[in-house]
Structure 1
Amino acid sequence: MAASGGRTGGGRLADALCELEVDRVFGLPGVHNLPAWNALSERAIRLFGVRHEQSAAFAADGYARATGRLGVALVTTGPGAANTLAAVGEAQASASPVLVIATDVPSTLRTPGVVRGVLHETSDQQAMFAPVTKAAFTVEDPDDIARVVRRAGRVARRPQSGPVYVGIPADFLTAPAADPLPADVTEVIHRVDVADLLQARELLSTARRPLIWAGGGALRAGAGEPLGALAECLAAPIVTTYAARGIVPPDHPCRAPNPVHTPEVGALWDEADVVLAVGTDFDGMMTQNWRMPKPPTLISINIDPVDGAKNYVPDVQLTGDAREVTEQLALGMPRRQGLRELSRRLADIETRVRRRIRREEPQAAEFLSALAETLPDEAVLVSDMCVAGYWIGGFYRVTAPRKLAYPMGWGTLGFGFPASLGVAAGAGRAVCVTGDGGFLYGVGELATAMQEKLPITVVVVDDGGYGMLRYDQTRAGLPHEGVDLVTPDFVGLAKSFGVHADRVDGFGRAFRRRLREFTRSDEPNLLVVGAEMAPPLNTSPRWYRD
């Protein structure tokens, strides 16, 4: 006879999530995981039912990026678990703390080393997740569910954060489970080597042209304030990666315009004699596949010294929390002259970059201006992999940390709309910009948005196919193959879900008027824009470094 209430494995799972302060879970029910749904519904946890398991993991990722908290996806066995893999890979590449909980086939029906043909059975479900997770666990006994889930959640959130998989045999959810033992919390403490700290301080204080390169680890650690103060002290420009957009306010005197892929901003890197890299691994997308030369002197602050040195080997490595180490580094740093001159130069660079955009792609300039003028202050902008999204990732002025979710970790098409579900569930107003191709990956989530009454505005930039790939073929002198697509009547499609929708052409007055109206609504809506833009300089076909 099955146990009831909190004494079952499902109850212990729910209790463990509550201990981890989880209040939102995204998932899709299946025959194997229904007991977990029942147990979670009895706790102060809101369940968001999506229409595809990939969307559950994307939504958990969006929630984590917007809130900084643990995002949780609950899916079923076999194909349900496998459907999350692309989204989990994006979370891994972007260091999002996501916990994927999947059921596995009942332990009573499994024979070790044999695939018997049980419904949804795979030979090794945990192994599927190994390449795309920070860690993976399979529960071996119902009494261990709470312990394993608590540990997995802590591992996912611990810097460097990332996705973690937990597999639970389906029969464990209804089996009796003992009271869990108290949480065994182990804190990892990094103490910076004093000699290295003094060396870094000396190098920065005597540098002629210092530069600060801020990555996603700096943003996740909340290092913006000390980093901005250190930059002012050094009169050093701050260049940010995609993941660090918004780490300092747009009006900060040391904030360099985005992105470093423009020659005007890239010159700041080329001139620097000392670079302080905070919470970054210098990935290929930011460095134009490492065509950017290693600076004469590189100081790295990173929680993971291997990650901080895998692409450009630092001259000084400071291992620890980005905020704490930056604060220590700033202590006693002499204030240098030149802040006003630097601020004037950065303003001039921004002016030249904006002139370049207006000259090369006027529609992009109008698009970026419209977003800046119309989006509410509280909105989180979520971008997909599309030409409009690349313009946002490179050139949109992000006003604060966690106000932009951009999938340039793994570069996962179809991220934008389902990630918006999690953003809206956790942070309120979400504005998703996606292409017509990427939107169709998760169009069924219009039903989720409507059912949950989520405040999401979806902007579909419809250029009739895969605009980036069309550009690649045109540039190479090739015929268009596979890139010009038949697209539906998006307005009619959205209305069939009960979602308010409209269509405009271009990014002029009609677009601004509609966008302002739609982003003030408390319910989901969709705005289709007929427009085609050339890609910006931060896309690989247009990288300027040879």
Structure 2
Amino acid sequence: MTSEMSGNLAQRNGGDLVIETLEALGAKTVFGIPGQHALGLFDALSRSDLHFVSSRVENNSAFAADGYSRATGEVGVLFLSTGPGALTSLAGLQEAYATGVPIVVVASQIPLDGLGARRKGMLHQLDDQKASAANVTKSQRTVHHASGIPSAIQDAWADAITVPQGPVWVEVPQDVLLAPVLVPPVVDALAEAYEHPPRVELVNEAVRWLSEARRPVIVAGGGVRRARAEAELLAVAELLGAPVICSPGGNGAFPWNHELSLQSWVEDRHATEVLEDADVLIVVGSALGEVTSNYFTLEPRGHLIQIDAEPRVLESNRPALGIRADAKAALEYLRDALVKVEGGVNADWHGNTPQQVVSETLAKVAERLDSQDLAKERKFMADIRAAVPAGMQTFWDMTISAYWGWSCWDSKDGQFHSAQGAGGLGYGYPSAIGGALGLQVAGASAAEARVLAVSGDGSSMYSIAELATAKQHNAPVTWLIVDDGGYGILREYMVGAFGKATATELARPDFVALAESFGVPARLVDHTNIREALEESFAADGPNVVVVQTLLKMFAPTHL
């Protein structure tokens, strides 16, 4: 080895091993905020081709990495500093964990000799930082030697992409990041997902039930979308003649206007009754949880088949034939087996066809909405849908508009993303920034990468600092803020339950002036002009904001 080569290699450290491994695994973009113990990591970042997006709050960095992954289908990467920075990210990681979004988190740590000790004056120290992440990540690792960094990150990456997918945690102490290394640069890293094929005896039993079914119905959850199993779902539904309803996470897994589509009206009692009347109900990629079960009012009377990649989900809310499998693998098996059923499956809904059941149910849903004085809300959502290009991805915060969107939004050729997993506020805008920048890094033009974020005035304040991020990176995000002067959905819940609302009213800024102070164009429009305002904003360059001051109501699940 020449002295020149030795000198170049000696300049590398543990931080370089982190960066090199991530690049070898295919990472392109990193989200996060620098911190004292992570300086070696960020110095190494400066010697790489990774695109770094610096958010203003770590929780929003986690949301951005989540949005990046959902929009691109790639693994999100998040860099965190020790202690307060790491802890601040946890609510964002909870959403990724609940929704099955793959993220590799690299968090710094105090020096090795301080781990497990209560040394006086150790900045940012936690008693057990890794334990703090245990509730919101699939796996956690601490690296004690620089030479162990590549393997730890590679193993974590494999965990993240193995179904059920989710965020994983790797922490590297400050001195390990700074430790000089003489090993050659990492040029190759392979992380493969572990296979979890469905058990043959279970899917064969499912096929037997389905071959004898007369009223099969399918609930499609977020697992179908994550597995990219839309084509397989469509094939199974058509072979069975089974109506399909999508959960909020599954929105877009099945064509909205298909003759078998019950769309996403899971919070409607008429749709719930169809699920209850099924002689075989197939739940794919969903826990059949609170919202999808219409707040646990669903009482199936027939057989229940539940397919999910996460074992703890199976039969967690209902006894079922539980099949642990990726949605795509299970649906492929069902499709191939059902093709061979002699005579096919002959659906018969008490003398009606499944198509008639679907059309009649959707008519009942429309009639119920007609009876509830919701013309303003329905037009508002329809105007947004009309303005949004068919292929645009949308990101929704926990706000009344999103609650409507869970049921009424036709994803068309785009994708619908919301915080329905954990339900934390502040998801919409930072995740949209991550999604838009990810699409750009993947090669989309600014116009093709433009996305829509939707927030309420309450939830928008959780992420208002990210206007600086959007401006700094010229992110093509249009942010719609629906300002109703408070936590609107909580106001409705409290009035419904107690006759009055408490602590739901909010002082809020002049959102237009605030956005403009960041150099982000903004406008205040009437709710009747939302379509025109959005269309103009979508045609612009970089970030912009549209504010609507209006009070929206939620629909009731059934007309009493």
Category of TM-score, reference length = shorter chain: over 0.9
Offset of residue 189 of structure 1: 3.1
Can you give the 5+ residue segments of structure 1 that lack an aligned partner in the other structure? none
Q: State the Cα deviation string for residues 230-258 of structure 1 (Å, max 9, x = none).
A: 11111001111111110122232322122
2:140 to 133, 136, 152: 136
1:175 to 179, 185, 200: 179
Q: Which residue of 2 is the match for residue 123 of structure 1?
A: 127
* Paired residue type of 2:478: T
- In structure 2, C-alpha distance between the alignment counterparts of 1:63 and 1:349, rounded to whole Å: 36
Offset of residue 399 of structure 1: 1.7
- In structure 2, C-alpha distance between the alignment counterparts of 1:524 and 1:463, rounded to whole Å: 23
- In structure 2, C-alpha distance between the alignment counterparts of 1:111 and 1:91, rounded to whole Å: 28
- In structure 2, C-alpha distance between the alignment counterparts of 1:73 and 1:477, rounded to whole Å: 42
- In structure 2, C-alpha distance between the alignment counterparts of 1:184 and 1:327, rounded to whole Å: 27
Q: Does the alignment pair 1:244 with 2:250?
A: yes
1:90 to 95, 115, 121: 95
Classify 1:449/1:187 alpha carbon distance in 2 versus 1 (closer, same or farther; 3 Å). closer
- In structure 2, C-alpha distance between the alignment counterparts of 1:5 and 1:355, rounded to whole Å: 73
Q: Which residue of 1 is the match for residue 431 of structure 2?
A: 419
- In structure 2, C-alpha distance between the alignment counterparts of 1:111 and 1:55, rounded to whole Å: 28
Offset of residue 15 of structure 1: 1.1
Q: 2:243–2:260: 8 Å Cα contact kept in structure 1? A: yes
- In structure 1, C-alpha distance between the alignment counterparts of 2:259 and 2:47, rounded to whole Å: 50
Offset of residue 123 of structure 1: 1.2
2:405 to 392, 397, 403: 392
Q: 1:235–1:254: 8 Å Cα contact kept in structure 2? A: yes
Structure 2 counterparts to residues 297-376 of structure 1, below 5 A: 297-314=303-320, 316-333=321-338, 334=341, 335-337=344-346, 341-360=353-372, 361-376=374-389
1:489 to 510, 531, 535: 510
Q: Does the alignment pair 1:229 with 2:235?
A: yes
Structure 1 window deviating more from structure 2 (3-12 vs 249-258): it is 3-12
Classify 1:188/1:75 alpha carbon distance in 2 versus 1 (closer, same or farther; 3 Å). closer
2:553 to 526, 534, 544: 534
- In structure 1, C-alpha distance between the alignment counterparts of 2:485 and 2:472, rounded to whole Å: 29
Identity of aligned residues (%): 32
- In structure 2, C-alpha distance between the alignment counterparts of 1:304 and 1:481, rounded to whole Å: 39
Q: State the Cα deviation string for residues 84-143 of structure 1 (Å, max 9, x = none).
A: 0111111111111112211111224x1643243211111111111011111111111111
Q: Which residue of 2 is the match for residue 153 of structure 1?
A: 157
* Paired residue type of 1:512: R
Q: State the Cα deviation string for residues 152-172 of structure 1 (Å, max 9, x = none).
A: 121111100111111111122
Q: 1:280–1:308: 8 Å Cα contact kept in structure 2? A: no
* Paired residue type of 2:521: H
Classify 1:462/1:304 alpha carbon distance in 2 versus 1 (closer, same or farther; 3 Å). closer
Q: Which residue of 2 is the match for residue 114 of structure 1?
A: 118
Q: State the Cα deviation string for residues 356-379 of structure 1 (Å, max 9, x = none).
A: 334421122012211221101231
Aligned-residue Cα RMSD (Å) equals 2.3
Structure 1 window deviating more from structure 2 (203-212 vs 246-255): it is 246-255
* Paired residue type of 1:159: V
Offset of residue 477 of structure 1: 4.3
Secondary structure of 2:551 counterpart: coil
Structure 1 window deviating more from structure 2 (333-342 vs 523-532): it is 333-342
2:468 to 428, 443, 447: 447
Offset of residue 271 of structure 1: 0.9
Q: 2:213–2:345: 8 Å Cα contact kept in structure 1? A: no
Q: Which residue of 2 is the match for residue 200 of structure 1?
A: 206
Structure 2 counterparts to residues 59-98 of structure 1, below 5 A: 59-98=64-103
Secondary structure of 1:51 counterpart: coil
Q: Which residue of 2 is the match for residue 505 of structure 1?
A: 526
Offset of residue 10 of structure 1: 0.9
> How many residues get paired?
536
- In structure 1, C-alpha distance between the alignment counterparts of 2:559 and 2:134, rounded to whole Å: 36
2:62 to 41, 47, 57: 57
* Paired residue type of 1:12: L
Offset of residue 185 of structure 1: 5.1
Q: 2:480–2:548: 8 Å Cα contact kept in structure 1? A: yes
Secondary structure of 1:284 counterpart: coil
Q: Does the alignment pair 1:273 with 2:279?
A: yes
Can you give the 5+ residue segments of structure 2 that lack an aligned partner in the other structure? 1-5, 440-448
* Paired residue type of 1:130: A
Offset of residue 410 of structure 1: 0.8
Q: 1:257–1:346: 8 Å Cα contact kept in structure 2? A: no
Q: What is the TM-score normalised by the length of structure 2?
A: 0.90
Q: 1:147–1:181: 8 Å Cα contact kept in structure 2? A: no
Q: Which residue of 2 is the match for residue 166 of structure 1?
A: 170
Secondary structure of 1:516 counterpart: helix
Q: State the Cα deviation string for residues 247-278 of structure 1 (Å, max 9, x = none).
A: 12223232212222112211210110101121
Q: Does the alignment pair 1:524 with 2:543?
A: yes
Offset of residue 4 of structure 1: 5.9
Secondary structure of 1:276 counterpart: strand
* Paired residue type of 2:509: P
Q: State the Cα deviation string for residues 400-442 of structure 1 (Å, max 9, x = none).
A: 4x71111111111111111111111123221011000100111
Classify 1:189/1:490 alpha carbon distance in 2 versus 1 (closer, same or farther; 3 Å). closer
Structure 1 window deviating more from structure 2 (332-341 vs 22-31): it is 332-341
- In structure 2, C-alpha distance between the alignment counterparts of 1:33 and 1:216, rounded to whole Å: 35
Classify 1:129/1:544 alpha carbon distance in 2 versus 1 (closer, same or farther; 3 Å). farther
Q: Which residue of 2 is the match for residue 7 of structure 1?
A: 12
* Paired residue type of 1:397: D
Classify 1:472/1:42 alpha carbon distance in 2 versus 1 (closer, same or farther; 3 Å). same
Offset of residue 190 of structure 1: 3.1
Offset of residue 81 of structure 1: 0.6
